[in-house]
């Protein structure tokens, strides 16, 4: 017994006997981070806030993907804890050699919670720009990525600040299907911060974000348990800057990759002007190309068999691999 104890002490001293690392740490060094950002209704009236996130950096990584979650999600969307080997976008990208920074939008997660009236899509994009500025000295390439309303923010950031090397758009197109989106928004309830912060009613997330994909109880339970909020004001300029006025995407000048599932919120079921043509990747590219006149390259991908929140799809690794392959070419 004494001999075994001495051996264990020796192994600990040399670093040989260690507790197994978390799965997400197997290929990358991860840490919680927080960045000071300034927001405000005017340049002269601003407040100091904090945008938090999870930064994971594989050895030798020179490209970082800055990930913006959608409404009622925080950073957890990018690192789903239910069957993470299938659903964690960050783990897949880390294994492919890319650093990831999964952010909490202002008002969510560990980020600060300003008055909801101050939190717009443009405010979020400005905060992300400030974060990207701090990353530039460390990484030679930056890809800004979003999901759903986070994709709108990613496009606003790229089209306004021109500080990234690529834009990943998931769960979003320029032709929103208001027939399905409006009922989801109408079923939101105040989330307790102030009346402008909203979240989904209990047990509505499958219909809102996952159908027509398979209903996997563990997956939906995880989504329900980790849901967050969004500010109603985030939706206003998301619509104005991406679907009503001349889209901000017309000012993006770097490669763009659009990925959607069989998404009833953004894909048409044959009704004109009620969603994009997602019948194939080629059809989606043709439909979206007019909104990206200045990009050097537009790529598209359809993840069949699932709805809006595609990181929860059983075949999510297919799209994760497609993103990694695309990122290597820009």
Identify which of 135, 185, 179, 181 has the alpha carbon closest to the alpha carbon of residue 161.
Answer: 135
Residue-wise pLDDT for 98-126, tens only, equals: 999 999 999 999 999 999 999 999 999 99
Alpha carbons within 13 A on the beta-carbon side of 326: 25
Residue-wise pLDDT for 176-192, tens only, equals: 888 898 889 888 999 97
| Topology annotation, domain 23-327 | Rossmann fold (3.40.50)
List of residues 6+ apart from 247 with CB closer than 8 A = 155, 174, 241, 291
Give the integer Cα–Cα distance in Å for 233 and 231: 5
* The predicted structure's pLDDT at residue 46: 84
Angle at 67 between CA 123 and CA 294, to 5 degrees: 75
Indicate the SS3 state at residue 199. strand
At 136, list the tokens: 């530039």
- In percent, the amount of the chain with pLDDT more than 70 equals 88
Q: For residue 64, is pLDDT > 70?
A: yes
Token match 């048409």: residue?
A: 268
pTM for this entry: 0.90
């Amino acid at each position: 017994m004494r001999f075994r104890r001495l051996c264990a002490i020796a192994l600990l001293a040399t670093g040989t006997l260690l507790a197994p690392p978390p799965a997400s740490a197997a290929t990358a060094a991860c840490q919680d981070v927080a960045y000071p950002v300034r927001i405000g209704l005017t340049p002269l009236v601003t407040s100091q806030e904090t945008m938090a996130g999870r930064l994971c950096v594989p050895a030798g990584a020179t490209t970082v993907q800055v990930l913006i979650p959608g409404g009622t999600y925080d950073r957890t969307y990018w690192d789903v804890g239910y069957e993470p080997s299938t659903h964690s976008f960050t783990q897949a990208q880390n294994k492919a050699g890319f650093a990831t920074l999964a952010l909490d939008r202002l008002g969510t997660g560990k980020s600060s919670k300003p008055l909801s009236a101050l939190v717009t899509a443009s405010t979020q994009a400005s905060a992300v720009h400030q974060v990207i500025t701090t990353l530039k000295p460390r990484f030679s390439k930056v890809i800004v990525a979003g999901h759903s309303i986070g994709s709108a923010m990613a496009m606003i950031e790229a089209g306004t600040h021109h500080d990234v090397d690529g834009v990943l758009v998931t769960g979003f197109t320029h032709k929103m299907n208001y027939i399905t989106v409006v009922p989801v928004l109408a079923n939101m309830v105040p989330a307790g911060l102030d009346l402008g912060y909203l979240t989904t009613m209990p047990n509505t997330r499958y219909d809102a974000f996952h159908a027509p994909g398979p209903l996997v109880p563990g997956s939906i339970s995880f989504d329900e348990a980790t849901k967050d909020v969004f500010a109603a004001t985030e939706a206003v300029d998301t619509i104005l800057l991406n679907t009503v006025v001349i889209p901000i995407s017309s000012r993006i000048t770097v490669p763009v990759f659009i990925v959607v599932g069989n998404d009833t919120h953004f894909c048409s079921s044959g009704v004109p002007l009620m969603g994009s043509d997602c019948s194939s990747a080629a059809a989606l590219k043709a439909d979206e190309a007019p909104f990206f006149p200045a990009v050097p390259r537009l790529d598209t991908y359809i993840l069949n068999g699932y709805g809006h929140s595609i990181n929860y799809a059983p075949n999510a690794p297919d799209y994760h691999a497609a993103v990694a392959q695309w990122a290597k070419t820009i």
